[in-house]
Amino acid sequence: MEVEESTTHLKTTATGKISSNLFLLLFYLHLLVAAVLTIFLTIRGLVFSSRFNHHHHHFHPLHWYPPLLTSSACAAITAFSWHAATRCNPSKTIKAAFWLSPLLTFGAGILLLAIGSASGLATAAFVLIFALTQSLYACWIVPRLDYTTKILTVSLSTPPSHTPSLFVAVSLITGTTYSCFSLSGIGGATATWTRFDPLFIFVILLSLAWTMHVIKNVLHVTISRVSYTYFAHALEVGTRVAFKDTLKYSMGSVCIGSVLVPVLSVFRGLARAMNVASGDTDEFMFSCTNCYSGVAGRLVTYGNRWGFVHVGAYGKGFVQASMDTWEMFRRVGMESLIDSDLTGSFCFLCGVAGGSLCTLVGGSWALAVGSGHATEVSIYAFLIGYFMSRIAMSSPQACVSAYHVAFAENPQSLRFDSTIPDRIRELQRSQV
C-alpha cells in the first residue's frame, strides 16, 4: 500500500521547537554571511591576481581552480558510484571499501611526500599512519563483516517504488555546487593572503562542513522515513513526499543533528580508542578511561544518527528523537548490537577512499604544473571528496538505521527475519 500524502505526526515539544527554529535561523544566517564573504574574497582575489600577478607569482588561478574543479567532478562521480555499487552488491562493496580505503590513503600520503613542502611532509606523516591504522582495523573487524553484510542487504530490500537514486543525484549536484562556490572564496583568500585570510578560510571551511552535513542528513531523514514506514507498518511513503516533509517540518532538527552527531561521534570514537589502548591496565595514565567512556556513552544518548529516523517518521526534535531511540535499544538489549554494526565504519571508509582519490587527482595535477599550493589543493580536494561520498552513502546508512529502529519498536513483528535476533544471541554467548 502506497501513501502519497504526508503522514508525519508532529511530536516536537515546545522546547524542541524553539531550539529547532533557533538552529534553522542560525543556519540560514550563516549561509548568508558565508555567501557574502565568499563573493567578496573571490572578486578581491581575481582582481589582485590580474593586477599584481607579476609581483605575486606564487598564486596562479589556472594552477588553483582547474585541479579543484576537476576534483569536485571526480568526487561526485565517485560518490554516486559508491551508492550504486552498494545497492547492487553490498557484500562486494563492503569488502572493496575496507581494502581500497587504506590503499588510496597510502597513495595520497606518498603524493604529499612527493610534494615536499613542510606542511606536506607533516600531513603525509599523519596520512601514512592513518593508512596503516585502517589496514589494521580492516584485519581486526573481519569476524564482524558477516553481520554488517547481512543487515545491509536486508535493509536495502525495500520495494521497487523506493528509488532514492534521483534524490542522491540531486543532493550530490547541490553539494558539488556549494563546494565549488566555497573553493572560489578559499582561492581568493589564498591569492592575497592578508593577516585575516587564514581566519576567512577557516570560516568558509566550517560553513562547508556544516552545509554538507545538512545536505547529507536531509537525505538521511528522507530515506530513513521511507524505509522505516515500510518495515514498521508495511506502508509505502513516496520518496518525493518524504523529501518535501523533511524540508517543511524537520530542517531545524536536521541542522541541530548536523552539529551534534559529528562532534559526539568523534568524542565516542576517542573513548573507544582509549579503551582499546588501556585494555585491563590500571596505570595512572589510563585511570580516567572509564570516566571518559561513561561520559561519552551518556552523551550519545542525546545525539545519535538513529534519532534521525524518528525525526523523519514523527517530526520529533532531534534530541528527543535520539533519547527515545536509545531508550528503545536499551529496552530490547540492542546496545551491544548497535556497537557491533560496521555500517557507520563502512560509510566512513567510503568517504576516506573518495577523499583520497580526489587528493590524487587534484594534488597530482597541481604538482605537475608546479603549483606552490599543491599541498593546500590536495587537502581541499580530500575534504570535497570525503563530504560528497558521505552524502551518497547516507542513503544505505539511513536504511540500516530505519531497520534497527523499526525492529526495536516491535521485535516480534513477522516482517523481520532472524538477522538481528541471531546476532544478539551470538553477542550474548561471547560475553558469557
195-198: list long-range contacts, CB under 8 Å, 24+ apart: 197/41
Residue 167 vs residues 218, 248, 257, 309: alpha-carbon distances, Å: 10, 16, 20, 17
Beta bridge partners of 2: 236
Mean pLDDT, residues 100-107: 96
Mean pLDDT of the 318-331 span: 90
| pLDDT tens digits for range 145-176 | 888 999 999 999 876 556 788 899 999 999 99
Q: What is the pLDDT of residue 251?
A: 94
- The predicted pLDDT at position 354 comes to 96
Q: What is the pTM of this model?
A: 0.91
Q: In this structure, is the dihedral angle defined by the CA atoms of residues 168, 171, 172 and 173, taken in order, positive or negative?
A: positive
Q: Which of 13-17, 20-24, 317-321, 379-383 has the highest mean pLDDT?
A: 379-383
SS3 387: helix
Radius of gyration of the chain (CA): 22
Split at pLDDT 50, 70, 90, the class of 113 is very high
Range name among 32-41, 250-259, 291-300 with the lowest pLDDT average = 291-300
Indicate the burial class of 107 (C-beta count within 10 angstroms; 0-12, 13-18, 19 or more).
Answer: middle
Q: Please state the φ and ψ torsions of residue 282, each to the nearest 5 degrees.
A: -110, 20
Q: What is the DSSP string of 367-383?
A: HHTT-TTHHHHHHHHHH
Percent of the chain with pLDDT over 70: 88
Q: What are the grid coordinates assigned to 261, written together?
A: 552527531
Among 173, 170, 211, 168, smallest CA distance to 38 is for 211
**Is residue 283 scored above 60 in pLDDT?**
no
Residue 83 and residue 346: Cα distance in Å, rounded? Answer: 12
* pLDDT (tens digit per residue) in 352-374: 999 999 999 999 999 998 878 89
pLDDT score for 284: 46
What is the arithmetic mean of pLDDT over 197-215?
96
Least confident of 58-67, 74-83, 92-101, 245-254: 58-67
Pairing of strands 236-237, 2-3: parallel
Cα–chain center distance at 118: 29
- Cα–Cα distance measured from residue 423 to residue 411, given in angstroms and rounded to the nearest whole number: 13
Query: Tens digits of per-residue pLDDT, 210-242?
Result: 999 999 999 999 999 999 999 998 888 888 999
| Helix axis angle, 343-368 to 374-409, nearest 10° | 170
Q: What is the pLDDT of residue 157?
A: 83
> Angle between the 145-155 and 419-431 helix axes, to the nearest 10 degrees?
160
Q: Cα dihedral sign for 415, 229, 174, 29?
A: negative
Tell me which residue of 300, 316, 296 sits closest to 308, measured CA to CA: 316
Please report the pLDDT score of residue 208 as a whole number.
96
235: left (phi over 0), alpha (psi -120 to 50) or beta: beta
The span from the CA of 287 to the CA of 315, in Å, is 42
State yes or no: pLDDT of 14 exceeds 80: no
Does the pLDDT of residue 332 top 60, yes or no? yes
- For 279, phi then psi, to 5°, come to 60, -130
What's residue 349's pLDDT?
A: 94
Query: In this structure, what DSSP letter does residue 3 have?
Result: E
Q: Which of 241, 428, 262 is nearest to 347 (CA)?
A: 262
Per the CB < 8 A criterion, the answer to whether 337 and 424 are in contact is yes
DSSP character string of 199-234: HHHHHHHHHHHHHHHHHHHHHHHHHHHHHHHHHHHS
Beta-carbon count within 10 A of 149 CB: 19
**Domain boundaries, given as residue ranges, for the chain:** 67-430
pLDDT of residue 289: 62
- Asked if 145 and 95 touch (Cβ cutoff 8 Å), the reply is yes
Query: What percentage of the chain has pLDDT greater than the value 90?
Result: 58
Which residues are within 8 A (CB) of 351 and not within 5 positions of it... i.e. 6 or more apart?
Answer: 385, 386, 387, 389, 390, 393
| Mean model confidence pLDDT for the chain | 87
User: Residues 6 or more apart from 322 whose CB is under 8 A from it?
Assistant: 301, 302, 303, 304, 306, 307
Q: Would you call 414 helix, strand, or coil by DSSP?
A: coil
pLDDT in the model for residue 277: 60
Residue 276 is predicted with a pLDDT of 60
